[in-house]
A and B are shown apart, each in its own frame.
Chain A
Amino acid sequence: EVQLVESGGGLVQPGGSLRLSCAASGFTFSNYWMNWVRQAPGRGLEWVANINQDGSQKYYVDSVKGRFNISRDNAKKSLYLQMNSLSPEDTAVYYCAREGGLWFGELFETWFDPWGQGTLVTVSS
């Protein structure tokens, strides 16, 4: 069974740091781009960051650039998100998601599937 399990969430004070982990199983982790997506309480989905198969390419949403770092360990089949200088606006459930894809003619289409169950990060004093 393809599965993603996040951990590491919790309560942290503004300005603090937290490291999230996502453990993958049931598929060849090293073959896929991986993503972090977050959802603030009562709000919609916001893509946060992604990383390519060997970790050489990383992209971030503007609001976390310079504060968050995405990384992976293919030997451990794990994805990470190091979050620094946290603010209350970072309070959210954080999901990891595999980015699958296929060629349809000349187009390489991608999508997020599966998603983990999420881990809650609360930034508050």
Chain B
Amino acid sequence: DIQMTQSPSSLSASVGDRVTITCRASQSISSYLNWYQQKPGKAPMLLIYAASRLQSGVPSRISGSGSGTEFTLTISSLQPEDFATYYCQQSYSTPRTFGQGTKVEIK
């Protein structure tokens, strides 16, 4: 199984800050990497697919990059609605696996 490791596990940031979350795969997964946002009590929502492609309706301050084993999710200017938990997920092989999550909290 492919292990996905996110860092950090949590972070505190202020509105307007630039935030970067890293996701590492235990083996190369090309660009088969997706990012989701989850708010408390809600279902996850797709943000980025195929490592860097922005899902329709997602604000352009959110971006993804990377390939192979290392990927990043960047929020260029954190907004109040961005405080949430973020998960990466590989779709290279089955079982599909998720990172452990990164909780973005208000400083």
In whole angstroms, what is the CA distance A59 to B93 when docked?
11
Interface residues of A, dominant DSSP: strand
Which B residues contact A (CB, under 8 angstroms)? Answer: 30-32, 34, 36, 38, 42-46, 49-50, 55, 87, 89, 91, 94-101
Number of chain A residues close to chain B: CB under 8 A: 24
B32 touches A113 (CB 8 A): no
A109 in complex: contacting residue of B49, B94, B101, CB < 8 Å:
B49
B95 touches A61 (CB 8 A): yes
B95 touches A47 (CB 8 A): yes
Which A residues contact B (CB, under 8 angstroms)? Answer: 35, 44-47, 50, 59-62, 95, 102, 104, 107, 109-118
Q: In the complex, given contacts A111-B50, A116-B43, what are 6 additional A-B residue pairs having Cβ atoms less than 8 angstroms apart?
A: A45-B89, A47-B89, A107-B31, A111-B91, A113-B46, A118-B43
